[in-house]
């Protein structure tokens, strides 16, 4: 089981603000990292799978970067909208494990 830290724990922003949050994980024996979005009363939904140091992924207004050498990933949301309100989970995997370890998530609330 990996030590996964997500910060901040929660975040309130105004509609139109851009925001970012962090996932930290052990840099040794890195294999992959997953980002999920979990809206209230819905199923967690996959955003990205990242595997290579320096990876950048983008999906609409949401993007993510990965630094495996220092053990962190950033998730960015540009021009936040109320529908972006959700908990964002990161889940790194170490080599030899096919089970990702989930962080506690960052809860984002976007106010109209």
Partner 1 sequence: GAGVSQSPSNKVTEKGKDVELRCDPISGHTALYWYRQSLGQGLEFLIYFQGNSAPDKSGLPSDRFSAERTGGSVSTLTIQRTQQEDSAVYLCASSSMGWLAGGQETQYFGPGTRLLVL
Q: At closest approach, how far in Å is the CB of 13 from partner 1? A: 22
Binding region for partner 1 (CB under 8 A) out of 12-20, 22-30, 31-39, 69-77:
31-39
Q: At closest approach, how far in Å is the CB of 48 from partner 1? A: 9
Are the C-beta atoms of residues 38 and 45 closer than 8 Å to each other? yes
The rounded radius of gyration (Å) of the Cα atoms in the chain is: 13
d(C-alpha 27, C-alpha 17), whole Å: 31
Q: At closest approach, how far in Å is the CB of 32 from partner 1? A: 5
The reply to whether 46 sits near partner 1 by the rule CB under 8 A is yes
Q: At closest approach, how far in Å is the CB of 36 from partner 1? A: 8
d(C-alpha 73, C-alpha 67), whole Å: 6
Binding region for partner 1 (CB under 8 A) out of 20-28, 36-44, 63-71, 72-80:
36-44
What residues from 50 to 109 belong to the interface with partner 1 (CB under 8 A)? 51, 89, 91, 93, 97-105
**Binding residues vs partner 1 (CB under 8 A):** 4, 31-32, 34, 36, 41-46, 49, 51, 89, 91, 93, 97-105
């Amino acid at each position: 089981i990996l030590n996964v830290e997500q910060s901040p724990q929660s975040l309130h922003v105004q509609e139109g603000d851009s925001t970012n949050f962090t996932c930290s994980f052990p840099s040794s024996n890195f294999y992959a990292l997953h980002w999920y979005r979990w809206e209230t009363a819905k199923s967690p939904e996959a955003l990205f799978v990242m595997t290579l140091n320096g990876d950048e992924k983008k999906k609409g207004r949401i993007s993510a970067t990965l630094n495996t050498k220092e053990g962190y990933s950033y998730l960015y949301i540009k021009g936040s909208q109320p529908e972006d309100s959700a908990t964002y989970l990161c889940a790194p995997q170490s080599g030899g494990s096919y089970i990702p370890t989930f962080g506690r998530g960052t809860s984002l609330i976007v106010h109209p």
